[in-house]
Structure 1
Amino acid sequence: MTGAVAAASPRARALRRLARERGAVAALCVLAAIALACLIGPWMTGHEPERAYPDLRQLPASLAAQPDDARLAAALDRLAFRIRARVEAAERTGDALRLTLAADAPIDRRGLVYLPRSDLFGVPQVASESEGGRRLVLDVPVRRLHFPLGTDVHGRDLLSRCLVAGRVSLAVGLVATLVALLIGVAYGAVAGFVGGAVDAAMMRAVDALYALPFVFFVILLLVFFRASLGLMLIAIAAVEWLDMARIVRAQTLTLRERDFVRAARALGLTDARIIARHIVPNTLGPVAVAATLLVPRVILLESFLSFLGLGVQEPDTSWGVLIAEGARAIEAAPHMLAAPAAFLIATLVSLNLLGDGLADALDPRSA
């Protein structure tokens, strides 16, 4: 009997309805995959997000190993110049390179350290020396590097950068949404439950904040404070709780006339306990749906502010910062815009589909 009651509970019915929403389930899987990739992916790409490869700048997306022959020759010429020598011959066989360096004066072997420092080559071994040290034959291991999404203007791996940026964008979306929920739910529940002049005054304050242009508000904050991730979180959370407050207030106005609220008053519970134990828990359905739809809006706001240079600042990065960098280099390297934009679009679409699915699953009129 207990199992039958549990199976017929509103939560169980909502979960069953959500499981039937294929779009919402697929969106949840995509979000889980993106979050997991952003969490552990940067350690699995083989590249540090800030590691630059000067000889591999603006590589297009490809599964081919780098450096290829053209970039290998350019890298050798650059490194030979630093060693104060010239490339006389270079024969590549798989991951091994037979390199011949020549110079007008004896070559200082200490300069060979530039080869492994480039991260394109391993530690060279001197196979032979002639002409009094002015000609060296080296056996140099060649590293095989992969950049599935290409590299940026500084030669940094774009996949690693997108995954690290996703941590910031998702964290901003979740933290700002959580702050907006805490403020909006508390504010709306108090306004709706107390009612009267207090409710009118509190909601007029909300209307006044609605009238304040968001970008102007952010610029005003930047006049007095230095742009930072924390400041952006404060700016977004300061305005995104307004919709939540209105949603919770509307629900509270209905709930405060219910019999269970009257019974709680008759038992002598204070208004604060009634709000915390009876009003707020019964608004969680609409709040959960609104929160799911609020996260993508916050992420989009963060991307918009970062695109304008008002959000995340170096050395941190986000999808908005990467999109801004890609927009500046769109003619020479369109992949720099496409990669972070694909992550952002996939996340926003998935969150919206999940929100729609939750709305249908939590609707008591659904079958």
Structure 2
Amino acid sequence: MSARVPAAGPAGRALARLVRERTALAALAALIGIALACLFGPALTGHDPERAYPDLRQLPAGLAAQPDAGHLGSALERLAFRMRARLEGVVPDGDTMRLTLGSDAGVDRRSLVYLPRSALFGTPEVVEERDAGRSLVVAVPIRHLYFPLGTDVQGRDLLTRCLVAGRVSLAIGLAASLVALLIGVGYGASAGFLGGAVDAVMMRVVDVLYALPFVFFVILLLVFFRPSLLLMLVAIAAVEWLDMARVVRAVTLSLRERDFVRAARALGLGTPRIILRHIVPSTLGPVAVTATLLVPQVILLESFLSFLGLGVQEPQTSWGVLIAEGARSIEAAPHMLAAPAAFLITTLVALNLLGDGLADALDPRSA
């Protein structure tokens, strides 16, 4: 007689349904890829997020090595001016150049330090000295820099900036959603389980908070407190738990008269224990779906506040801050808007697709 295979539980069946949702799995893979890129990518791009290249401002996206011929001449002229010398000749030699610098008062060798400080060139070497130091022939290695998404108005690598900004945007989305989740689940489960006048009063409080203009609420906070990342987290979490509370309350109202709740009451379990041990675990399906859809809402809200200048402040950055900077330079450098917007849109679409997939997988009526 063959052994019976135990039937899969609700979690196993939900996981099996989720695996069949190819769109949701693709969205999950995209989210994991974006998160890993934001976490480890800035260390692999070869650029510090705050490192500015004054000679390479507003470069368009591309895979060509920089500085190219068009930017090399202007960079050398600027550096020669800072060294108080004349650029008398430039002879390319593979990955190095031979520069001829001249000055009537003599070229100060210490000023050659400006070449490696520009980050476009390596350590220079004096090859020849002429006219008692009034002319120097210098061999300078050329660095090869790559900016796949271009640079911003200050000459900073836009790819590195987008990845670092993604850390902030994703962290805000997850942190604010977690706070909203904890408050909303506890509040909604308590209101729905207690019912009666308590439920009515608690939900009227939710209605009053719904009526408050969010942007006015944030501006009011900024009047009394200094703008900061923590303040924005508090402001977002203070309103985003309202939807979660309503969802959990509706589910709790349908659970409070179930047999397992009545059995728990008959065994003498107190209200807090019933809520924690029986009600809250039974709401995890709708809560998981709502939380997945809450994260993109929080990220979009943070981007909106940062776009208005009410969110993340320098030296920190986020996708909303980069989009605001790109909007101001859209005519001269449209790539500055397109790059962070692509990261934001991809993340929001992936989160919404994952939320839809979870909703289908956790639906017990699904086949």
TM range (shorter): over 0.9
Read off the aligned partner of 2:218 and give its amino acid letter. Answer: V
How far did residue 178 of structure 1 move? 0.2
Q: Is residue 48 of structure 2 the alignment partner of residue 54 of structure 1?
A: no
How far did residue 2 of structure 1 move? 9.5
How far did residue 93 of structure 1 move? 2.7
Per-residue Cα deviation, 1:224-280 (whole angstroms, up to 9, x for no partner): 111111111001000000000000001111111000011111111110000000000
Per-residue Cα deviation, 1:101-124 (whole angstroms, up to 9, x for no partner): 111121110000000111001110
Rounded Cα–Cα distance in structure 1 between residues aligned with 2:92 and 2:236: 55
Which piece of structure 1 moves more, 181-190 or 217-226? 217-226
- Equivalenced residues, count: 366
Read off the aligned partner of 2:135 and give its amino acid letter. Answer: R
Query: How do 1:211-360 residues align onto structure 2 when only pairs under 5 Å count?
Result: 211-360=211-360
For structure 1, the 5+ residue unaligned runs are none
Which residue pairs with 1:185 in the alignment?
A: 185
Which piece of structure 1 moves more, 357-366 or 90-99? 90-99
Rounded Cα–Cα distance in structure 2 between residues aligned with 1:345 and 1:92: 44
Task: Note closer, same or farther for the CA distance 1:366–1:69 as it changes in structure 2 (3 Å cut).
Answer: same
Rounded Cα–Cα distance in structure 1 between residues aligned with 2:165 and 2:39: 11
How far did residue 338 of structure 1 move? 0.3
Which residue pairs with 2:124 in the alignment?
A: 124
Which residue pairs with 2:36 in the alignment?
A: 36
Per-residue Cα deviation, 1:16-44 (whole angstroms, up to 9, x for no partner): 11111111000000000000000000000
Which residue pairs with 2:196 in the alignment?
A: 196
Rounded Cα–Cα distance in structure 2 between residues aligned with 1:4 and 1:35: 38
TM-score, normalised via structure 2 length: 0.98
Rounded Cα–Cα distance in structure 2 between residues aligned with 1:325 and 1:294: 26
> Helix, strand or coil for the counterpart of 1:87?
strand
Read off the aligned partner of 2:90 and give its amino acid letter. Answer: A
How far did residue 4 of structure 1 move? 3.0
Rounded Cα–Cα distance in structure 2 between residues aligned with 1:272 and 1:84: 77
How far did residue 94 of structure 1 move? 2.7
Q: Is residue 42 of structure 2 the alignment partner of residue 10 of structure 1?
A: no
Which contiguous aligned blocks of 4+ residues in structure 1 show a shift greater than 4 angstroms? none
Which piece of structure 1 moves more, 216-225 or 318-327? 216-225
Rounded Cα–Cα distance in structure 1 between residues aligned with 2:316 and 2:174: 17
How far did residue 359 of structure 1 move? 0.2
Read off the aligned partner of 1:200 and give its amino acid letter. Answer: A
How far did residue 3 of structure 1 move? 8.3
Read off the aligned partner of 1:351 and give its amino acid letter. Answer: L
Rounded Cα–Cα distance in structure 1 between residues aligned with 2:176 and 2:275: 23
Rounded Cα–Cα distance in structure 1 between residues aligned with 2:93 and 2:135: 21
> Helix, strand or coil for the counterpart of 1:84?
coil
Task: Note closer, same or farther for the CA distance 1:73–1:132 as it changes in structure 2 (3 Å cut).
Answer: same
Which residue pairs with 2:112 in the alignment?
A: 112
TM-score, normalised via structure 1 length: 0.98
Which residue pairs with 2:161 in the alignment?
A: 161
> Helix, strand or coil for the counterpart of 1:105?
coil
Read off the aligned partner of 2:316 and give its amino acid letter. Answer: D
> Helix, strand or coil for the counterpart of 1:99?
strand
Read off the aligned partner of 1:39 and give its amino acid letter. Answer: L
Which piece of structure 1 moves more, 350-359 or 91-100? 91-100
Read off the aligned partner of 1:278 and give its amino acid letter. Answer: H
Rounded Cα–Cα distance in structure 2 between residues aligned with 1:3 and 1:209: 54
Rounded Cα–Cα distance in structure 2 between residues aligned with 1:3 and 1:81: 85
Rounded Cα–Cα distance in structure 2 between residues aligned with 1:128 and 1:224: 64
Rounded Cα–Cα distance in structure 2 between residues aligned with 1:180 and 1:76: 54
> Helix, strand or coil for the counterpart of 2:283?
helix
